């Protein structure tokens, strides 16, 4: 039965690369839609007369919605398949972002950002599960990392649209053009097969239903299966890992463009340009993490990149004045912050290797996005801290969470090269 499975191939084929590209493209626009709002905070706030606290609640609401979307679409993917649900998630976040352009008040904007967050929460885990189930074990880390490079590409695209083109387009039009990623659905529908690991699991489930007790199999496909004795401890460990890492990320990026603009007196365009430097580091970090994880293991890779991120963060916040007199030096630390975020490349391969197929997408989507949903409070916490210590004080907390991520990974077993469990 396993001889024809895609993950049993010696090397990736053309079909593997199609799966990778479509999952990657979905993640690019997923992250673009999520982060675009950060670049449009100032013009939206001015036109709708919103305070920083109100904008923080709107920003946080989309993060909170990703938790719900991650759980819902994770369950749907384990039930209806990776290919079909990947399409649903892309349509959801594309429509939500488009509708943000017609917002006339904080409540309308809040509602549409929640829709966007639902789709954003579902896409990443579905795409990573798709790749994790279909790529050979010995290269799973690097190809999961390749998909993760979509995040910096998404931020670069958001920097261009929301930072460089907003003056020509207007913030509403920036949201309107964001409906275009919905076209990916056409290519996914026509060009991709279903995950054969998932399909084999469905056959096994059907056989169980026909020959045994169907209630048992049905109950195992729910979110609550994550809290059964055999899964609970592992899932909680994964959730804590994701919370630490998500906190490091969102304490960094939710207010970073505004930090450069408001506290460091950069123009909006210059802020966007410096963010591009950070994302150049992110691209390299996401790309290289997988090679290190496949060669030396998941745990050492996480620790290395977490230290790099923490070091860069301390320098661009608490020690800014000491190094900013030499711009190339501060730019190098901005680059290191991005490079350190490469540890996010580890989640897809790690979670794929830890959980069985029947709950893989549910576990992955729930842990990753519940952790992201908790970041609902992050933008507000930063603003509150900024009242006394400036935005640099709030953002600097990200360094602590980065170090916690690199330490916590060692409570996990090493899964490098592990065979996927059907």
In a domain, 331, yes or no: yes
pLDDT at 307 over 90: yes
Question: What is the pLDDT, as a whole number, of residue 285?
Answer: 94
State the Cα–Cα distance between residues 132 and 420, nearest whole angstrom: 8
Higher pLDDT, 25 or 385: 25
CB atoms within 10 A of CB 283: 22
Would you say residue 272 has pLDDT above 80? no
Q: Does 291 have pLDDT greater than 70? A: yes
Q: What is the mean pLDDT of residues 166-183?
A: 88
Question: Which residues are CB-contacts of 422 (< 8 A; sequence separation ≥ 6)?
Answer: 197, 200, 201, 204, 356, 357
- Within 10 angstroms of residue 29's Cβ, the number of other Cβ atoms is 27
How many domains would you assign to the chain?
Answer: 1
Q: Is the pLDDT of residue 2 over 50?
A: no
* pTM beyond cutoff 0.75: yes
pLDDT at 99 exceeding the cut of 70? yes
Least confidently predicted of 126-130, 199-203, 280-284: 199-203
Q: Please give the pLDDT value at position 211.
A: 55
pLDDT of residue 214: 47
Question: Do the domain assignments include residue 418?
Answer: no
> pLDDT, tens digit, for every residue of 353-372?
999 888 999 999 999 989 98
Distance of CA 178 to CAs 164, 336, 347, Å? Answer: 15, 29, 27
User: Is residue 212 pLDDT above 80, yes or no?
Assistant: no
Q: Between the ranges 157-166, 242-251, 272-281, where is the mean pLDDT highest?
A: 242-251
pLDDT at 309 over 60: yes
In a domain, 146, yes or no: yes
272 is a domain residue: yes
- Is residue 422, in this structure, part of any structural domain at all? no
- Cα of first residue to Cα of last residue in the chain, in angstroms, is 11
The pLDDT tens digits of the residues spanning 19-70 come to: 999 999 999 999 898 889 888 888 999 999 998 888 888 888 888 898 899 9
Q: What is the pLDDT of residue 393?
A: 84
Backbone angles phi, psi at 193, to 5 degrees: -90, 170
Tell me what pLDDT residue 215 has.
Answer: 42
pLDDT higher than threshold 50 for residue 292: yes
- Structural domain contains residue 416: no
Stronger pLDDT, 374 or 207, i.e. the higher one: 374
- pLDDT tens string 310-348: 999 999 898 988 888 888 898 999 999 999 999 999 999
- DSSP result, 91-157: HHHHHHHHHHTT--SHHHHHHHHHHHHHHHHHHHHHHHHHHHHHS-GGGHHHHHHHHHTHHHHHHHH
More confident residue, 404 or 209: 404
The listed range with the strongest mean pLDDT (74-88, 149-163, 207-221, 259-273) is 74-88
Would you state the torsion angle of the CA atoms of residues 205, 208, 213, 217, taken in this order, to the nearest 10 degrees? -20
Q: What is the mean pLDDT of the chain?
A: 87
At residue 219 the predicted structure's pLDDT band, cuts being 50, 70 and 90, is very low
CATH number of the CATH domain containing 371: 1.20.1250.20
* Residue of 146 and 392 predicted with greater confidence: 146
> What pLDDT score was predicted for residue 117?
92
pLDDT top residue among 187 and 343:
343
| Residue 420 located in a structural domain | no
Strands (E), 132-252: none
pLDDT value at position 101?
A: 93
Quick one: pLDDT at residue 377?
79
pLDDT of residue 17: 94
Instruction: Please check the confidence at residue 213 and state whether its pLDDT lies above 60.
Output: no
Structural domain span for residue 46: 2-411
Query: Would you state the pLDDT for residue 26?
Result: 92
Is residue 419 assigned to a domain?
no
Q: What is the mean pLDDT of residues 408-422?
A: 90
């Amino acid at each position: 039965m396993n001889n024809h499975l895609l993950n049993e191939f010696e090397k990736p084929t053309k079909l593997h690369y199609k799966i990778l590209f479509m999952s990657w493209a979905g993640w690019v626009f997923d992250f673009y839609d999520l982060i675009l709002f950060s670049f449009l905070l100032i013009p939206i706030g001015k036109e709708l007369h919103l305070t920083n606290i109100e904008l923080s609640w709107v920003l946080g609401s989309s993060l909170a919605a990703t938790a719900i979307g991650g759980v819902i679409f994770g369950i749907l993917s384990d039930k209806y398949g990776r290919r079909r649900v990947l399409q649903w998630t892309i349509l959801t976040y594309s429509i939500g972002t488009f509708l943000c352009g017609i917002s006339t008040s904080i409540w309308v904007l809040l509602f549409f950002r929640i829709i966007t967050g639902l789709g954003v929460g579902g896409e990443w885990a579905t795409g990573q599960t798709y790749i994790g189930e279909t790529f050979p074990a010995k290269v799973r880390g690097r190809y999961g990392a390749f998909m993760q490079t979509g995040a910096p590409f998404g931020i670069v695209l958001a920097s261009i649209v929301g930072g460089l083109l907003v003056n020509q387009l207007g913030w509403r039009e920036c949201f309107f053009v964001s409906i275009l990623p919905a076209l990916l659905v056409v290519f996914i529908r026509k060009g991709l097969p279903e995950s054969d690991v998932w399909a084999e699991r469905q056959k096994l489930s059907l056989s169980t239903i026909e020959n045994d007790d169907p209630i048992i199999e049905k109950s195992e496909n729910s979110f609550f299966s994550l809290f059964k004795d055999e899964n609970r401890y592992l899932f909680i460990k994964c959730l804590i890992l994701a919370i630490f890492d998500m906190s490091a990320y969102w304490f960094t990026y939710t207010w970073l463009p505004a930090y450069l603009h408001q506290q460091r007196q950069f123009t909006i365009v210059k802020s966007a340009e410096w963010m591009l430097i950070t994302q150049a580091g992110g691209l390299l970090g996401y790309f290289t993490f997988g090679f290190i994880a496949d060669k030396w293991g998941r745990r050492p890779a996480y620790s290395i990149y977490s230290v790099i991120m923490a070091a860069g963060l301390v320098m661009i916040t608490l020690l800014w004045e000491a190094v900013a007199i030499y711009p190339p030096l501060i730019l190098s630390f901005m680059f290191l912050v991005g490079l350190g975020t490469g540890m996010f490349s580890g989640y897809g391969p790690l979670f794929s290797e830890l959980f069985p197929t029947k709950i893989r997408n549910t576990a992955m989507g729930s842990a990753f996005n519940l952790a992201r949903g908790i970041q609902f409070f992050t933008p507000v916490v930063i603003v509150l801290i900024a009242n006394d210590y400036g935005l640099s004080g709030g953002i600097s907390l990200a360094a602590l969470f980065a170090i916690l991520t690199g330490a916590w990974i060692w409570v996990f077993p090493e899964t490098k090269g592990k065979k996927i469990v059907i």
